[in-house]
Amino acid sequence: MSLFQGINTSASALTANRLRLDTIASNIANAETTRANFVNGVWQPYKRKMVELSPKSGESFDNLLQAAVGNITGKNGDQGVRVTAIKEDETPFKRVYDPSHPDADQDGYVLMPNVDMMKEMVDMISASRSYEANITALNATKNMMMKALEIR
Partner 1 sequence: MLGSYHTQILERSMNAANLRHRTITNNLANIDTPQFKSQQVVFEEYLQQELSGALGKQKLEAYRTNERHIPFANAGGFAMPQIVSNPNNIVQNNGNDVDLESEQTELAKNQIWYSGLTQLTSGSYQKIRSVIDGGGK
Closer of 12 and 114 to partner 1 (Cβ):
12
Q: Is the Cβ–Cβ distance between 83 and 21 less than 8 Å?
A: no
136 makes contact with partner 1 (CB under 8 A): yes
Task: Please report which helix (H) or strand (E) contains residue 28, including its range.
Answer: helix 4-29
Query: Binding partner 1 by CB under 8 A: which of 61, 68, 75, 100?
Result: 75
78 makes contact with partner 1 (CB under 8 A): yes
27 makes contact with partner 1 (CB under 8 A): no
Helix, strand, or coil (residue 38): strand
151 makes contact with partner 1 (CB under 8 A): yes
128 makes contact with partner 1 (CB under 8 A): no
Q: How many angstroms separate the CA atoms of 108 and 87, rounded?
A: 31
